[in-house]
Amino acid sequence: MTSKLKNIQFFTALNVDAMFFHSAVNNLTDATKNKAVADATNEELNCIPWLDDYEVWDIGDEIDVSFSNEQIMYVEGLKDKAKAAFSRFLQATATTHMFCVAALEAHINKIASSSIKAKMFDHYEKLSIEGKWLLLPQLLGKSGFEPGHQPFQDFSHLIKTRNALVHYKGKKIPGFYADSTDLYKPLGLTVEEAHTSVEATKKMIVRLAEVMELAPPKWIQDTAAEYLNVEVVWE
């Protein structure tokens, strides 16, 4: 009996979907940490018994009170710390949403490009990201996602959040340092919304793997995964 030696080919692939997803996870961690720092610092600030008098004095109103340099540095230091942490929180939550969408689009494009013909993919690539996720299983004759049902429902919400951020036209609320939650919460800039986006991304990718009868990518759970992977093909 004779055996034929097979040719081996090696390919190196860049997993940008994994890279984007891990960036989303890392930004969610940063958002959570900095929101906690901002909240704790503001709580410390609000516990200062003479803070109201200081605020009146600070804006220049006449008041029969004075503050030492140490007191001024203490209050202003806390304010700066809270503002810096809150700014990083806002940035990290927004970035979480952006990277989640980027991961989902990169992933569906990668799966589709290896599953459908090149001519069809040229047309497929022009679809919206929601259209891509809905249509691919149908093109392959498989049961897929249903709008209005999970995890597609949270996925659609993520896309709306991303669109609200990138198409933001600005908003003003009256008052001096008024309650800013009316500015950032409608844009999904909360730890809870960012966490929902990460979970929706994970569930969509795992569900697609089930539909395609594939193992879920390891990088969904392993944040230490490498992004350059070597593939071996036997001929």
Write the pLDDT tens digit of every residue in 108-167. 999 999 899 988 999 999 999 999 999 999 999 998 999 999 999 999 999 999 999 999
Cα 187 to Cα 33, 145, 173, 206, distances in angstroms: 20, 26, 15, 27
% of the chain exceeding 90 in pLDDT: 72
Kindly give, in sequence order, each residue whose CB lies less than 8 Å from that of residue 27, ignoring residues fewer than 6 positions away: 92, 93, 95, 96, 99, 194
Q: Where does the pLDDT of residue 62 fall: very low under 50, low under 70, confident under 90, or very high at 90 and above?
A: low
Q: What's residue 208's pLDDT? A: 97
Predicted pLDDT at 181: 83
Averaged pLDDT of the chain? 90
234: β partners: 8
Distances (CA, A) of 127 to 46, 63, 123, 131, 191: 51, 64, 7, 6, 30
Alpha helices (H) along the chain: 16-46, 51-58, 69-113, 118-124, 129-139, 152-166, 181-184, 191-211
pLDDT at 64: 59
Q: How far apart are CA 104 and CA 127, in angstroms?
A: 14
Number of Cβ within a 10 Å radius of residue 2: 3
Q: How far apart are CA 228 and CA 183, in angstroms?
A: 40
Say if CB 12 and CB 229 are below 8 A apart.
yes
Neighbours of 31 (CB within 10 A): 25
3-state secondary structure of 222: coil
Residue 179, pLDDT above cutoff 90: no
